[in-house]
Amino acid sequence: MKIVITGGAGFLGQRLARRLLQAGSLTDSNGTVSPITELVLLDTVAADGFGDPRVRSVVADISDGRRMADIIDGGTASVVHLAAIVSGQAEADFDLGMRINVDALRTILDICRSNGNRPKVLFTSSVAVFGGDLPDMVRDDTALNPRSSYGMQKAVGELLVNEYSRRGFIDGRVLRLPTISVRPGKPNKAASSFASGIIREPLNGEPAACPVPPDTRLWLLSPRKAIDCLLRGHELSAGALESSRTINIPGVSVTAGAMVDALRRVAGPEVADRVSWEPDPFVARIVGSWPAAWDTTQARILGLEGDADFDSIIRAYIEDDR
């Protein structure tokens, strides 16, 4: 069984790859469980250090349709599509966001369709598809009203994956992920980058500026639980997704201020005091348009779980990444 992960050299991609290699086998769209024989990690940079004969690192631009058609061939049972231009960058460069977040997705979907083997396609969406006057708790049937280019592009992606699935071109599933926190490594161009930075940098002994006010509420998921959800989301039978291919993944609803309070409890005041409050209107506007929580009944019925609280998220980060 061949699996392709786009964004496979990224942090979630590499972590998912390790988990899939551990699992050893997956369920295809016919319900057949088969061993993973080839795991392609596709990205703009190489994914090194796997040392596993099943892993193939491929460096390519996902908007290069010809290369993509070579990589996602008719023997590909699943595509996990994680590659994206993140929110801050998609807002700064509209055309780049459209090219990668919309056009490249469509190219991938059309390749899957023309292959004719109805592969599974796992697509990650985002809190950013919501916006405007939101209820305290976003429901499964709350309208998408994105207030960022990234959110619009992810919303279009959701519609495409649902429709290509309805038509039987693919067996798609959309996991609408909370903001991932705590990401290891360096800040990125996501407007939500601080949601990891204000925990990660202080734990590294470095100062961190929080660009949103303390009462800004976020909806967060640890990388550990995100990987659990990706794996389970892949394994779900299509029959469980008849009303919609889109699943709201459970998060922890917490304010930026409460995140720092949790850091204080878990790591002590000296660490928490490394966070300063320096509002940035660009970031605050984008992040402030996102929902603080959404209804997760469907996810829980399907067995997809989030974290218990933000203290647990910090502890998971310390265990997994430090």
Alpha-carbon gap, residue 243 to 173, rounded angstroms: 12
Segment near a second copy (CB under 8 A); pick from 68-76, 142-150, 209-217, 296-304: 142-150
- Which residue among the candidates 150, 194, 290, 294 is catalytic per the annotation? 150
Smaller CB separation from a second copy, 57 or 107: 107
Alpha-carbon gap, residue 321 to 200, rounded angstroms: 10
Kindly state the smallest distance separating residue 174's Cβ from a second copy, in Å: 12
Contact between 84 and a second copy per CB under 8 A: no
What is the token pair recorded at 288?
Answer: 């402030």
For 69, 127, 132, 211, the CA distances from 39, given in Å and listed in that order, are 16, 29, 40, 38
Kindly state the smallest distance separating residue 243's Cβ from a second copy, in Å: 6
Kindly state the smallest distance separating residue 215's Cβ from a second copy, in Å: 22
Contact between 185 and a second copy per CB under 8 A: no
- Rg of the chain over Cα atoms, rounded to whole angstroms, equals 19
For 9, 16, 40, 43, 224, the CA distances from 54, given in Å and listed in that order, are 15, 14, 8, 17, 23
Using CA atoms of 191, 49, 203, 126 in order, give the dihedral in degrees to the nearest 10.
30
Contact between 243 and a second copy per CB under 8 A: yes
Contact between 296 and a second copy per CB under 8 A: no
Smaller CB separation from a second copy, 163 or 280: 163
Total of residues contacting a second copy (CB under 8 A): 24
Smaller CB separation from a second copy, 120 or 176: 176
Kindly state the smallest distance separating residue 108's Cβ from a second copy, in Å: 15
Contact between 312 and a second copy per CB under 8 A: no
End-to-end CA gap in the chain:
33
**Residue found under tokens 């809190």:** 127
**Residue found under tokens 């309805």:** 166
Contact between 162 and a second copy per CB under 8 A: yes
Q: Where is 211: in which H helix or E strand?
A: none
Contact between 282 and a second copy per CB under 8 A: no
**Residue found under tokens 């519609």:** 159
Positions in 257-276 near a second copy (CB under 8 A): none
Contact between 66 and a second copy per CB under 8 A: no
> Among residues 5, 7, 230, which one has the least CA distance to residue 100?
7
Query: What sign results for the dihedral spanned by CA atoms 130, 307, 136, 240?
Result: positive
Contact between 166 and a second copy per CB under 8 A: yes
**Residue found under tokens 């990589």:** 71
Smaller CB separation from a second copy, 144 or 275: 144
Q: Is 150 a catalytic site residue? A: yes
Alpha-carbon gap, residue 186 to 189, rounded angstroms: 10
Contact between 140 and a second copy per CB under 8 A: yes
Q: Helix or strand or coil: residue 251?
A: coil
Smaller CB separation from a second copy, 53 or 168: 168
Smaller CB separation from a second copy, 22 or 243: 243
- What positions carry a catalytic annotation? 150
Chain residues in the site for a second copy (CB under 8 A):
94, 132-133, 135, 140-147, 149, 152, 155-156, 159-160, 162-163, 166-167, 243-244
